[in-house]
Structure 1
Amino acid sequence: MDISNITSQATATASQAQSNDKKKLGQEQFLQLLVAQMRNQDPINPMDGKEFASQLAQFNSVEQLVNVNDGLKSLQKSQEMMQMGMTNSMAASLTGKEVRALSSKVHLAPGEEADINYKLNSSAEQVDIVIKDGSGTEVRRASLEGVGSGENSWTWDGKNGSGARMPDGNYTVEIQASSGDSRVKALTFTEGIAKKVRFGSNGVMLTVNNVEVPIGDVEAVGKGIL
């Protein structure tokens, strides 16, 4: 088998790969290895043409897979940028509108009370509403009995367990609901007018009732939800 033409073609291809900055390092290594294999083959038992063609076919398949993978990464990046743009546009359009969003935060304004809204997965024999300050210390606990499933609300007068007025600011609410020995799933939410949109490293945040909520936690938008 005369491999002089094959050798020269492979060598030329390897030289072109080395001079092209866009080529992958794996491509150069493969071609160089193939050329070295051909130069050092046994003259008595030279490389079979079918084997050579098979190796080239395998190399082309790998190269195509690499190109496909690069294309998918590029497509994913484009989709992420498009999705981010759509999210930002949608968030900006929510300002001034009534929204409902999942949130465990509640804001206590000067001299005012605070409504605590929550949803129960099923009716509960007992519901404990636990309010904690910024350090995680419990400041108030209210126990309710015979609370129905679905949406419920309780108004906090802004006082702690001793009857003293708490400082204005944001507090965390935890709902502990149970029926007998079984716990009942509960979620807290806030409803109000979206006042501000903030674009930060943690994503898009809406300010509702002086509490920031991620835009992904918004459940409903529009009139009639309040």
Structure 2
Amino acid sequence: MSVSGVTNNSNPYALPDDTISVSEAGQLSNQFITLMVAQIQNQDPTNPMDSTQFVEQYATISQVQSLENMTKLQQSSLVLADNLQMLTAASLVGQNVTVHTDSLELDGKVDAQFDLQHTSTNTVLWLTDANGVETSVALGRQDAGRVDVALDPAALGLKPGTYKVRIETATGEEPRLQVAGKVSDVRVSDSGPVLNIAGIGSVPFYQIVQFGQRG
């Protein structure tokens, strides 16, 4: 099923079937009190039962009920949070976002960037195609901060396709490439929303680093 650019094969975002009912939560306590009163009424007067046992048992039942209700509330809260995330992702269809990515769908020039924590005297960006063939893009010395990269597959002699991306630095730092693209659709998955972004491909929602394109 597809609605407003969102595809869904199953629905992991449905609220739990077990909803919290105040009447059901109190039913067990009422039954216990009824049984306790019946036992007290029918106990042997010459050997009365210890009332502290009833109090302890009732307290235990109350604690169990509280834990069960807390668990159900937490499950409901998580589902609601997931639904909110899905709605947010769906609203991004047709919008630009900047994401961390380890791969690119090269079919034209791509402007990207990455952030360095330390100055690198020798920086290399590697592109690996589906056959495992690597192409290096020498970036030379780069100071700490934002580094802009322009990738032109034609100039690099690369055919259109999907390429894995990794960046090597002289300091051993491994920054991740950041690329801006337009969200074409959103897919529902068990691990959360997955965005399909032009020029990048499928990217999990949590890899978004900025809404809109970086200036």
Fold-level similarity (TM above 0.5): yes
Q: Structure 2 matches for 1:46-125, cutoff 5 A?
A: 49=49, 52-109=50-107, 112-125=108-121
Counterpart selection for 2:152 from 146, 154, 157: 157
Asked whether 1:192 is paired with 2:172, we answer: no
- 1:173 corresponds in structure 2 to 165
Tell me how far 1:23 sits from its aligned partner. Answer: 5.6
Q: Structure 2 matches for 1:17-36, cutoff 5 A?
A: none
Structure 2 residue runs of 5 or longer lacking an equivalent are 1-26
Contact 2:122 2:142 survives alignment (8 Å): yes
The 2-side partners of 1:192 and 1:97 are apart by 8
The 2-side partners of 1:57 and 1:177 are apart by 67
Contact 1:122 1:148 survives alignment (8 Å): yes
Q: Deviations over 1:7-32 (max 9, x none)?
A: xxxxxxxxxxxxxxx869xx8xxx9x
Tell me how far 1:150 sits from its aligned partner. Answer: 2.1
Tell me how far 1:114 sits from its aligned partner. Answer: 3.5
Counterpart selection for 2:122 from 117, 122, 126: 126
Asked whether 1:206 is paired with 2:206, we answer: no
Q: Deviations over 1:59-117 (max 9, x none)?
A: 112111110111111111211221122112111111122211111111111xx233443
Contact 1:98 1:225 survives alignment (8 Å): no
**1:84 alignment partner, SS class:** helix
Greater fraction helix: 1
- 1:220 corresponds in structure 2 to 210
With 188-197 and 66-75 compared, the bigger mean Cα shift is at 188-197
With 201-210 and 65-74 compared, the bigger mean Cα shift is at 201-210
The 1-side partners of 2:57 and 2:154 are apart by 73
> Which one has the largest radius of gyration?
1
| % identical aligned pairs | 18
Q: Name the Cα RMSD after superposition.
A: 3.2
The 2-side partners of 1:57 and 1:178 are apart by 69
Total equivalences in the alignment: 179
Contact 2:115 2:144 survives alignment (8 Å): yes
Tell me how far 1:170 sits from its aligned partner. Answer: 1.7
Contact 1:140 1:159 survives alignment (8 Å): no
- 1:6 corresponds in structure 2 to none
Q: Give the TM-score taking structure 1 as reference length.
A: 0.67
The 2-side partners of 1:184 and 1:133 are apart by 23
Q: Give the TM-score taking structure 2 as reference length.
A: 0.70
Contact 1:190 1:209 survives alignment (8 Å): no
Structure 1 residues 122 and 47: CA distance shift in structure 2, 3 A: farther
Code of the aligned partner of 2:150: T
Code of the aligned partner of 2:113: N
Contact 1:120 1:187 survives alignment (8 Å): no
The 1-side partners of 2:60 and 2:182 are apart by 55
| Deviation beyond 4 Å, 4+ runs, structure 1 | 46-49
Contact 1:175 1:187 survives alignment (8 Å): yes
Tell me how far 1:192 sits from its aligned partner. Answer: 1.8
